[in-house]
Each structure stands twice: as C-alpha cells, then as structure tokens.
Amino acid sequence: MQADSKSYDDINVTPMVDLYLVLLLIFIIMTTAGVQGVKVNLPRGGPSTSKPIEGPKMQAVTVDDQGNIKLNASVVTMDELSSKLEAIKASMPDAPVVVRGSTGTSYQTIMDVLTAVGRAGFTNIGLATQAPKK
C-alpha cells in the first residue's frame, strides 16, 4: 500500500463558523431574556389637586451693538447688573442665565457681563447663538 501523497492545502472552517453562529445565537437569546423586567399592576392616581412644579426661570442678559446691557428687557449698568444678579441668585439659586450678544458687540463687554454673572455665583450659564443657514 502506498501512503496518501495528497497534500492538505486548505482548512475546513465550516465547523468553526457553525460554532460561532451557535454561540452568537445563545448570546442574543440570553441578553434579550435578561432585559425584561417584572410585570406589576401599577395603582391608578386620582385627579391632581396640587400645583404643577415649576423650575427656575431663565434670566436673560442682552448686550446690543452700542454696548447697552439689558437684564430681562430692562436697561441696567454694569454695577446694577451685578447687584440685581446677586439678588436673583439669593431668591433663585438654580436659575439659568443666558447671555445674548449682537454680532457687532465688543468682546470685552461680553467678557465683563460673563465676569459679573460668574461673580454673582451662577453656574448654569449659556451663550445664545443662531443656527447656521443652510
């Protein structure tokens, strides 16, 4: 008898792919089974008699092209802005502040307003911008 002189140049990967697909299927089934929660019957509520919960009102500081500063539509100076912001912070500690500046506004004026807002103790500060035109 002669020895088999045929060379094995290729590897049969079909059993390995079958194993991977079975493991993937088991993984998918187990993860979806673990996500489901426990079903409960929730109680029904009656009509609400309480007032709706209100969050802090947003404060708007606007600086126009001439450098005029407005706090919620009333014109203020930089000193008045600082004192009014401190009073607002005392009454509404979590109130957000939005600083709006025109495109022609001096950068230094915006920085002075941001400094006054930060000195008053506000941490929720935003800068208003417009969405880009498409």
What confidence score (pLDDT) does residue 11 get?
79
In a domain, 74, yes or no: yes
Read off the CATH number of the domain in which 66 is found: 3.30.420.270
Residue 70 lies in a domain: yes
Q: What pLDDT does residue 22 have?
A: 93
Q: Which two tokens stand for residue 54?
A: 């209100």
- Contact between 97 and 125 under an 8 Å Cβ cutoff? The reply is yes
Confirm whether 22 is domain-assigned. no
Is 15 a member of any domain?
Answer: no
Residues 28-60, buried b or exposed e (16+ Cβ, 10 A)?
Answer: eeeeeeeeeeeeeeeeeeeeeeeeeeeeeeebb
Please list the pLDDT of the chain residue by residue as tens digits (134 residues): 555 666 667 778 888 899 999 999 988 887 776 655 556 555 566 666 556 556 568 888 888 888 888 888 888 888 898 899 899 888 888 888 888 888 788 888 888 989 998 898 888 888 877 766 66
pLDDT at 124: 85
Asked whether residue 88 is domain-assigned, the answer is yes
Flag whether 118 is in a domain: yes
Q: Hey, how many other C-beta atoms are within 10 angstroms of the C-beta on 25? A: 10
How many separate domains does the chain show? 1
Tell me the whole-structure pTM to 2 decimals: 0.56
For 105, the domain range is 59-127
- Asked, for residue 99, whether it belongs to a domain, the answer is yes
| Residue 4 resides in a domain | no
